[in-house]
Copies of this chain bind each other. A is one copy, B any other.
């Protein structure tokens, strides 16, 4: 069980005693997900936050026309959940699927609430975590309103350099909001212009 990674992630924002670490880690469950398997399916109620220790997940929605739209990727050291469903405990719209064999540590909403009571530092930790997510989400919203697809792709490469090597092109295309065809064309034009 690779608890070191999650303890380091937590230690970015809060200091836990050894005892507190034990309390925290006792609340976690390990889960392995094979490539193409789902951690969460749209219409389900999201009961866990997941912390990725190896592999890669993607969160995506499917629109009326059956087109998939990637909301987020989660490589190692990242958290992922359907936030709407997790908070409201209502059926959500997000599918969370493994892009490759993946291992996660699951923290249930119930255990998360217990953590807040037993170790209030976790209020602080998750506030900061969500604040940073909000900043990234708003930045992406602004990008979608004001930048061309090329500019969005450039930003993606700058912000998440470690992701681009292993992510399939069609997933990157979906994340920046264009079709695979357009993405392919755009990239070859960018290369011609070098």
**Interface positions of A (Cβ within 8 A of B):** 61, 63-64, 67, 69, 71, 83-84, 87, 93, 116, 120, 123-124, 126-127, 130-135, 137-142, 144-147, 177
Query: Would you call the interface of chain A mostly helix, strand, loop, or mixed?
Result: helix
- The answer to whether A71 and B141 have CB atoms under 8 Å apart is yes
For A120, list chain B residues within 8 Å (CB). 120, 123
What separation, in Å, do the CA atoms of A142 and B64 have in the docked complex? 12
- The answer to whether B84 and A135 have CB atoms under 8 Å apart is yes
With A127-B127, A137-B137, A141-B140 as given contacts, are A87 and B146 in contact (CB-CB < 8 Å)?
no
19 contacts between A and B (CB under 8 A): A61-B142, A61-B146, A63-B145, A63-B146, A64-B146, A69-B142, A69-B145, A71-B138, A83-B131, A83-B135, A84-B135, A84-B139, A93-B142, A116-B124, A120-B120, A123-B127, A127-B127, A134-B134, A144-B177
Output the nearest chain B residue to A120 by Cβ-Cβ distance: B120
Return the 7 tightest CB-CB contacts between A and B, nearest first: A63-B146, A127-B127, A123-B123, A69-B145, A137-B137, A134-B134, A84-B135
- The answer to whether B142 and A141 have CB atoms under 8 Å apart is no
For A137, list chain B residues within 8 Å (CB). 134, 137-138, 141
Q: Which of A132, A138, A140 has the most CB of B within 10 A?
A: A138
- The answer to whether A132 and B93 have CB atoms under 8 Å apart is no
